[in-house]
Structure 1
């Protein structure tokens, strides 16, 4: 993450606003700002609105320009011990990173890769203005979760219709940043494809990785990290190596815990900077890094190396092959063994272990060190160390007792054993909100896993870990506590690791299936909906469970993945066999085909969907639920055909005479057919007492009501859809339908002039947790409602979230979001900022919104702006332009504005238009008030004009309220 640069004090700006201003300057989304500052997105939007007002900024873009920090600096894991030596390696690696796109620091475990890379990344912070981002891959056990780990580090969440990997690429596409990926060796199958996409699509991003083997990706530049210099013995690349830092594999600084010796460095500089000890001729080229590191770590535990001991230290470091982790562990033993005991004990074990393992030479010294270290432990502590190696994330003492507390180790003795292991630097310790947590250093964890097999516990400890994970997952799934998400985050990697272990064992498939279902549910509730779908599909694969496939399909629908939802519903039908359940699945696949038509990447032929529905009828029998699902599919198919085949435009006032009765008759017949289908589906759903099915059926009824011009009835049905679902638990199927219901309820409320309700529904949509990162979806309707109402400050604040969400989603073609972008353009136009207005018109173009698409709302928006600027004749011309009037949600606004434009421009038929239009806007309080104001203007009735201000105020439209007062004063 990047550190927030402090902003200069500005009068009237609170400290919290200053924090938010700085993050806006870093182009953070409101969701990212809220997550970093632990406040709600709504609170962020309120502060942004305040900042726009206080700083006089026109929009979020200008606000970001004013807040732009001079420089971003890296925030990396803070080492708690001094970094020693490695001068040449640091220089070489810095040069590589500044000239190469992707550099991999390669070397064995414990050699010091991580500390070297962290020091180089800190040095280069100023060269990457958009930040240095550190990603710890140690807890990641599934290669498919690499992108998720990177997304977490970046603060990037999943957006509907995009994978986390694509979201990360979108977030970094225009940034000059350095991404540090640590410990890639166990997930190279996930790292390699991720980096290929990242480097190809993010031209200003560089990657610095650590691994035990090269990643084999294009553009990779491999830098071998040598052991520490030993004095007289050249390193592998022929030059003395100079790193005395602990590696990721053994460094306690990985998670911010106390250093292995128990104390941080005093002043950030190596304690070995003092006068050299011993005979300077012993090291004619200077003190070797290995000896300097041992001396520094010895001093940290209160042990002074005397001059006559220098040669003995150098010999010990040579026997440890200059491996930083081994040297650090050896130095930590000085208080109990002394230097002589260290040398003697290590020598014995090295002699015993050479050639004793099937490992290459570069790992042999680390294994020797670990064997020697564990030889000093009691039997109980040895058992505890190997058993807790099953944890991949920091764990509590209670968790360790549950997993490791079996014969010969009593559960009650586990806590004491953890303390002893921590004292001996075999565990790192960190304090957290949930209490003290322990972490097994990675090299030791891998070694402990091997020891499980040697002790005959290869199955016992992982099995107990699996049982513990199942209990934790079930408790989390049942929890209603506010802080469950923090607890889930703390154990999520262990749940995933346990699932991977169980899924590979036939005798554990039932447990794996159970855990996959729980993880699918928890991931969904945590808004990790991509993983949720993956886990439900995994559960289905373990047992051919149609219920899991149905859950996966519903999650895919929430993600706007039409292809996946369609595929999964078909797979559920196949798994269900020739049953009514299969009929329901096939019918739902058909419904998905029609209702999610815009969410398909490659839509199958329409004939295929029709065949699925025919097969569903064959399997349904008398099953009421199957019949209801088929009724929904019939509604979806009819609705799709109805709107796909409707006339491109509805004639405007000047074109009506040319309309043929045949067209109107066809529309009425189609609407009647849709109404009948929808009412049948509603009836079946009510007989089933299924609010979700009823809500889906009402979707088609709304279309039928709007097609015959009954906007008030359509709005009432839309409200009913929300009421059916808003108090139900947010399961995947309900969430998908609720998003749609809120979108339509907001739109129909806007259309009928109920801006108060539109704002309420829009807020509800904006605040859905699933849409926290999909700002363009969450704010789309609210922007339109607030722009028409005149809440310009709120619109400008929320427009940043809208644009951020669309940008983070990869700037897809998004014609459905044209009204939102046009609404923001309207607000800028009303404020007199033509440049900002034109920028938002450019956004419309980039979204692929055509002139035909805009015909349902742009004429009304443009008329409002033209009337505002005193150009009623142009407004009337725009409203009367051929093709300017479509079946859009602003139809009633359109005709009412047309009357006002006619009156203000002195059109001779203004009075006739007023009379003709009244019946068309019945029940719309804003359109009605517009006509009342037009009538008062026509009669030059100043008091009548002023009286309409109260009507606009009551309808939640302060813009038109102020305009009425201005027009009254002008008259």
Structure 2
């Protein structure tokens, strides 16, 4: 949206229009007159060329959403000035503007990264969504390329999808430049992910650096030549040398430029080699450098097939290495195992052993930094050191040559284990940054140790630690992967425990297929370990998952397959044998309750015996889980009981069971299984509270769910129940604000369907209907069709929300027609949350439409909803309207206020008429709603 012609005051008005405020509300907010607001609105309509106020509000809201969701661009700040490369910068900048993907290629040390960063910084203004830097140097696993991109651009994992898919969705409509550095590190992972990224994100461009082409579609290679050294006073290589030598302490005299050019020529114009040589200027001077860079230089490095420029960099590194004292040589090669910046304390732990004196490590790091072999940067926790990737690779080769690779890697592994233990016990606002600063070292140590038979036990410990840490960091995909990796490294008993944790993480990710697979795998591992009771619990859990979370499967297991799993669980659990333990018996009972409940849910018109059997199975599972002292299992059993009570038409009992889940889980340690159960418990507690008219509690639990860290990237799931609670309360502002996050997240998720997403979208459509915004309502009803299911919308929540809009519009006959089926006819779709709302609205519509059965319907409904404060007040109002009792109408308005339902309170005043109607209109305006029609 262009705002070049818009004044500051008009911009203020526009922003408030995006919040769907009325002219009067805008005037009050800005302390101006309503007439002035009208003038500004007219000017905005003209300047922005939109047809009406509604379109203007949409434009402003879309612009605000885009601004809020736009990630912040970030490029690393160079520690030294960029020298030369004028021609290359211009050519590369043109290439980045013209082509989807450019790869800056050249040997290590030629200056690829600095050139790419310089061009990216200059081009940042060309990209509406900015520029991001993705450093792939720390990666050891090609499968983590997508995760590295996600970290760089600020994308988190979303339940129901992997991190790669989350990145593609988040960047699908971005106009941005991504700088990928050191792609040769994980080329096998870069190429396939880069191809997917460029196909899925048509407005995205990638500037990569690599020692070789990536060989992907769209790629255009830009070879980086050496710096020129033969241009006299204009020589880029000489200028770089002079600049870096001066920074090292003693600037060369201008008279020696020609001799310095000869040195640069011997170094083939390689930027890294020149910088390393310049760092030696204060101690060696020109004569010393010239003598050192004689013919033996080229003999030192590489074989006959090596590229000359590669040989020259290796030669300078050999030369720099040979000039070091023996202890500094040892330090240089040993610190090469660090992937991320490290402290002197960490270096001492890993590198401080004979022949290197541990007390000399800190001084040695300073000397290496002085000679440009390390960079040193201050941080909140002290100075941190890091070597360029080229130097790290060189150091690792020297480490192998010295026969120290295993010893140093083992010490690095021990340091990582200790550090991971400290991180697990830490907390605080800086925890995330602390973990991020260590993560790649932990991953690198695990990658190495996992392939060393003698390190298997430590690798398993580190995998478990990394699994717990990444789970805390909300990297759910990796957490599941690490738990599975730990299981592969462990013995059968420990493997079963790790697989159970992995299943819990899969649950948090809403990956039902993985939950089923992992619980079965845990059962097999437990059986191999001789733990039949544990195996029975795991297999019963798999059977439970297949029914309880069937909506989260991409392929629901066949009934026969689940039956076989449950039969095996019964057999392994002793089929009632008390020696198997109450935990196994409770798990089997829960699976049976899930099966019975699902079987009933699939069949309408079930008998009372079937209903009672469902309840009894669930109650037995609850009792057994409580006896087993397993709060997570008890919560799951209470979920089954809550569902069973809903089927029997007992919403209050269903809500009570759901509420008990919250109480039980509140003090349970936050394991993956508990976290998955907690998220589900919050959703069910919010939903069942809505079902019995407890709007404040539904809002409270809905808010807790929306604020849960695991839902940071899944606003559609996170905000669903909060949107519904706010919609029933009539809080249009909160619904309109939350709907933007919901819609963005839902679209980025691939437009998923869920039992809560359809009602959430329908609640937003209802609010637009209550506002009189028919276009927006139609748009959201389209979302309802795609996010929910047709039958539920037609017969369940859709009937409730549509009826509320129709009654607001004064069309009681249409509302009654929308609610025409008897509750028993649509029981499958109304029996959970919507029963009280359905029957109460049906009774009220009967009264307002003058239906002859209205008195009987009122009486029958009272017996159903007794105890529901909102439904009771609604029936009181309908009965008072039927009797013409104004006093009771006003009492109903007060009851609505007490129940947290200001919308219905205002509507009651409007229905009361006379002076009360004006007060009702004012309340509705304050809620952001249009006046209701009274017929």
Tell whether the structures are fold-level matches, with TM greater than 0.5: yes
Residue aligned with 1:787, SS: helix
Could you say if the C-alpha distance between residues 950 and 899 of structure 1 is closer, same or farther in structure 2, counting changes exceeding 3 Å? same
- Consecutive unaligned residues of structure 2, counting only runs of 5 or more, are 20-52, 917-935
Q: Which residue of 2 aligns with 1:290?
A: 237
Q: How does 1:785-934 map to 2 (within 5 A)?
A: 785-847=725-787, 849-850=789-790, 852-880=792-820, 886-887=829-830, 888-934=832-878
Residue aligned with 1:432, SS: coil
Tell me, yes or no, if the aligned pair for 1:60 and 1:800 is still in contact at 8 Å. no
Tell me, yes or no, if the aligned pair for 2:279 and 2:370 is still in contact at 8 Å. no
For the residues of structure 1 that align with 2:71 and 2:585, how far apart are their CA atoms? 60
Deviations 1:439-467 (A, max 9, x none): 12211111111111222211111111100
Deviations 1:104-150 (A, max 9, x none): 11111110111221222233323322222211111222211111110
For the residues of structure 1 that align with 2:808 and 2:358, how far apart are their CA atoms? 76
Residue aligned with 1:923, SS: coil
For the residues of structure 1 that align with 2:252 and 2:751, how far apart are their CA atoms? 62
For the residues of structure 2 that align with 1:729 and 1:143, how far apart are their CA atoms? 34
Q: Which residue of 2 aligns with 1:600?
A: 553
Q: How does 1:715-726 map to 2 (within 5 A)?
A: 715-726=655-666
Tell me, yes or no, if the aligned pair for 1:667 and 1:708 is still in contact at 8 Å. no
Tell me, yes or no, if the aligned pair for 1:73 and 1:131 is still in contact at 8 Å. yes
For the residues of structure 2 that align with 1:382 and 1:56, how far apart are their CA atoms? 71
For the residues of structure 2 that align with 1:786 and 1:773, how far apart are their CA atoms? 21
Residue aligned with 2:884, SS: coil
Tell me, yes or no, if the aligned pair for 1:427 and 1:440 is still in contact at 8 Å. yes
For the residues of structure 2 that align with 1:671 and 1:906, how far apart are their CA atoms? 36
TM-score, structure 2 as length reference: 0.87
Equivalent residue for 1:946, pick from 883, 886, 890: 890
User: Which has the bigger relative contact order, CA under 8 A and spacing at least 6?
Assistant: 1
Deviations 1:333-358 (A, max 9, x none): 22222222222223265155144698
Equivalent residue for 1:761, pick from 701, 709, 713: 701
For the residues of structure 1 that align with 2:909 and 2:315, how far apart are their CA atoms? 87
Tell me, yes or no, if the aligned pair for 2:807 and 2:815 is still in contact at 8 Å. yes
Tell me, yes or no, if the aligned pair for 2:173 and 2:201 is still in contact at 8 Å. yes
Equivalent residue for 2:272, pick from 325, 336, 346: 325
Deviation, 1:605, is 1.7
Equivalent residue for 1:570, pick from 520, 523, 538: 520
Deviation, 1:183, is 0.6
The more displaced of 802-811 and 207-216 is 802-811
Q: How does 1:474-873 map to 2 (within 5 A)?
A: 474-544=421-491, 545-576=495-526, 577=528, 579-621=532-574, 622=577, 623-624=580-581, 625-645=583-603, 647=604, 663=605, 666-847=606-787, 849-850=789-790, 852-873=792-813
Q: Which residue of 2 aligns with 1:258?
A: none
Deviations 1:884-915 (A, max 9, x none): 77324122112212222233333343333222
Q: Which residue of 1 aligns with 2:902?
A: 958
The more displaced of 514-523 and 81-90 is 81-90
Q: Verify: 1:339 aligned to 2:286, yes or no.
A: yes
Could you say if the C-alpha distance between residues 215 and 784 of structure 1 is closer, same or farther in structure 2, counting changes exceeding 3 Å? same
Q: Which residue of 1 aligns with 2:142?
A: 143
Could you say if the C-alpha distance between residues 582 and 73 of structure 1 is closer, same or farther in structure 2, counting changes exceeding 3 Å? closer
For the residues of structure 2 that align with 1:481 and 1:199, how far apart are their CA atoms? 38
Could you say if the C-alpha distance between residues 219 and 729 of structure 1 is closer, same or farther in structure 2, counting changes exceeding 3 Å? same
Tell me, yes or no, if the aligned pair for 2:551 and 2:754 is still in contact at 8 Å. no
Q: Which residue of 2 aligns with 1:270?
A: none
Q: Which residue of 1 aligns with 2:228?
A: 229
For the residues of structure 1 that align with 2:277 and 2:447, how far apart are their CA atoms? 35
TM-score, structure 1 as length reference: 0.84
Tell me, yes or no, if the aligned pair for 2:412 and 2:445 is still in contact at 8 Å. yes
Could you say if the C-alpha distance between residues 620 and 358 of structure 1 is closer, same or farther in structure 2, counting changes exceeding 3 Å? farther
- Consecutive unaligned residues of structure 1, counting only runs of 5 or more, are 23-54, 232-281, 648-662
The more displaced of 721-730 and 352-361 is 352-361
Deviation, 1:866, is 2.1
Equivalent residue for 1:363, pick from 310, 314, 318: 310
Q: Which residue of 2 aligns with 1:65?
A: 63
For the residues of structure 1 that align with 2:742 and 2:836, how far apart are their CA atoms? 26
Q: Which residue of 1 aligns with 2:932?
A: none
For the residues of structure 1 that align with 2:571 and 2:792, how far apart are their CA atoms? 42
The more displaced of 148-157 and 842-851 is 842-851
Deviations 1:544-595 (A, max 9, x none): 4221111111211221111111111222222222622222221111111111
Could you say if the C-alpha distance between residues 62 and 824 of structure 1 is closer, same or farther in structure 2, counting changes exceeding 3 Å? farther
Residue aligned with 1:124, SS: helix
For the residues of structure 2 that align with 1:781 and 1:818, how far apart are their CA atoms? 11
Q: Which residue of 1 aligns with 2:44?
A: none
The more displaced of 626-635 and 525-534 is 626-635
Q: How does 1:416-495 map to 2 (within 5 A)?
A: 416-495=363-442
Q: Verify: 1:113 aligned to 2:119, yes or no.
A: no
Deviation, 1:536, is 0.6
Deviation, 1:363, is 1.4
Tell me, yes or no, if the aligned pair for 2:128 and 2:175 is still in contact at 8 Å. yes
Count of residue pairs brought into register by the alignment: 860
